[in-house]
């Protein structure tokens, strides 16, 4: 008897999502759009949490009546609070998808370093503000770049020293992964049936690679055509993390190929730093201080 590899997991394997409501941040393009499209096709009601409401309305019209656009600017905690206050009814799944990568130095409306503020702190606050309405799970996107990340707890917002965009990006994505793990620890400690998952897309061709405002945009444009997998393939780990019924809380889903750059979605590992419980807890406490959001656990 010959061994054969398991069949690839695709959008055709998503269980029926009829009657379920999912919030997807950053849903107007790239991974967020492909994630939303697949969920609507599977029967879910999808709340598109978007900064550009005109673009969001166009995407909602494209996806059909099961999708609706709602304004959310993760770079502004006032907007995060307004979005959360406007969401009615239960939410089965929250997918913290939106993100920035290697952008020039900047500050959010609340004074946070832009990548940390959008990728991590905005989603941290959003999750805490929606938690009492979430019924199933939270999925937070990380990146293989978490491997180069280091949490600078005493200077999270890069207020001293030279700004290094890739270092700041790595920190933000390590923070996202540590948040997902710590949230699961807290669900377990509270006796909650909710689950926290992490996912990363590998190297997927999206407009994320076109915002560095440097020569790197041209380099990554070439890599997108030659090396990267499609946005549809890049969305599969998020969809797997969001919909596989018996997936254990605390799972981290990514591609199964070399270097986790591309391939079929499966549970993957992460760095020892991402599992540092003491730092997870300290990062959580600092995020609560910065966002002034406490989780109802």
Instruction: Read off the CATH number of the domain in which 88 is found.
Output: 3.40.50.720
Residues in the chain with pLDDT < 50?
A: 1-4, 209-210, 213, 215-216, 218-220, 222-226
142 touches 202 (CB < 8 A) = no
The answer to whether residue 55 is domain-embedded is yes
Owning domain of residue 243: 16-202+234-291
The answer to whether residue 214 is domain-embedded is no
Please tell me the total count of domains within the chain.
Answer: 1
The answer to whether residue 158 is domain-embedded is yes
CA 209 to chain centre: 16
| Known catalytic residue at 169 | yes
CA 246 to chain centre: 20
User: Considering the entire predicted model, what is its pTM?
Assistant: 0.91
Q: Which letter does DSSP use for residue 219 in this model? A: H
The answer to whether residue 211 is domain-embedded is no
CA 178 to chain centre: 12
Query: Helix (H, G, I), strand (E, B), or coil: what is residue 276?
Result: coil
The number of C-alpha atoms within 13 Å of 261 and in the hemisphere containing its C-beta is 9
The answer to whether residue 65 is domain-embedded is yes
Backbone angles phi, psi at 148, to 5 degrees: -100, 5
Separation in Å, CA 155 to CA 84, 139, 161, 172: 28, 27, 10, 13
Q: Which of 169, 181, 203, 240 is catalytic?
A: 169
The answer to whether residue 137 is domain-embedded is yes
The answer to whether residue 241 is domain-embedded is yes
Per-residue pLDDT reduced to its tens digit, 226-252: 455 788 999 999 999 999 999 999 999
| The pLDDT of residue 203 | 87
The answer to whether residue 218 is domain-embedded is no
Q: Which is it for strands 265-267 and 252-255: parallel, antiparallel or unpaired?
A: antiparallel
| The pLDDT of residue 206 | 61
| The pLDDT of residue 5 | 58
């Amino acid at each position: 008897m010959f061994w054969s590899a398991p069949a690839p997991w695709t959008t055709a394997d998503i269980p029926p999502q009829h009657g379920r409501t999912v919030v997807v941040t950053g849903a107007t393009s790239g991974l967020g759009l492909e994630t939303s499209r697949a969920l609507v096709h599977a029967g879910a009601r999808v709340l598109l949490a978007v900064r550009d409401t005109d673009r969001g309305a166009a995407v909602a019209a494209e996806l059909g009546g099961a999708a609706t656009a709602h304004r959310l600017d993760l770079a502004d905690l006032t907007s995060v609070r307004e979005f959360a206050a406007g969401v009615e009814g239960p939410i089965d799944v929250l997918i913290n998808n939106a993100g920035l990568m290697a952008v020039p130095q900047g500050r959010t409306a609340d004074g946070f370093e832009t990548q940390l503020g959008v990728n991590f702190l905005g989603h941290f606050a959003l999750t805490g503000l929606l938690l009492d309405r979430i019924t199933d799970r939270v999925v937070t996107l990380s990146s293989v770049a978490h491997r180069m990340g280091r949490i600078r707890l005493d200077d999270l917002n890069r207020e001293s020293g030279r700004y290094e965009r890739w270092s700041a990006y790595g920190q933000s994505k390590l923070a996202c992964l540590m948040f997902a793990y710590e949230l699961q620890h807290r669900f377990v400690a509270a006796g909650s049936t909710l689950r926290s998952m992490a996912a990363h897309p590998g190297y997927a061709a999206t407009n994320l690679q076109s915002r560095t405002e440097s020569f790197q945009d041209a380099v990554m444009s070439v890599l997108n055509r030659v090396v990267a997998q499609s946005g549809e393939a890049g969305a599969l780990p998020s969809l797997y993390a969001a919909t596989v019924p018996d997936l254990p809380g605390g799972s981290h889903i990514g591609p199964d190929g070399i270097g986790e750059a591309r391939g079929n979605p499966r549970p993957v590992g992460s760095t020892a730093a991402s599992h540092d419980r003491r730092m997870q807890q300290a990062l959580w406490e600092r995020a609560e201080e910065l966002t002034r959001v406490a989780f109802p656990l």
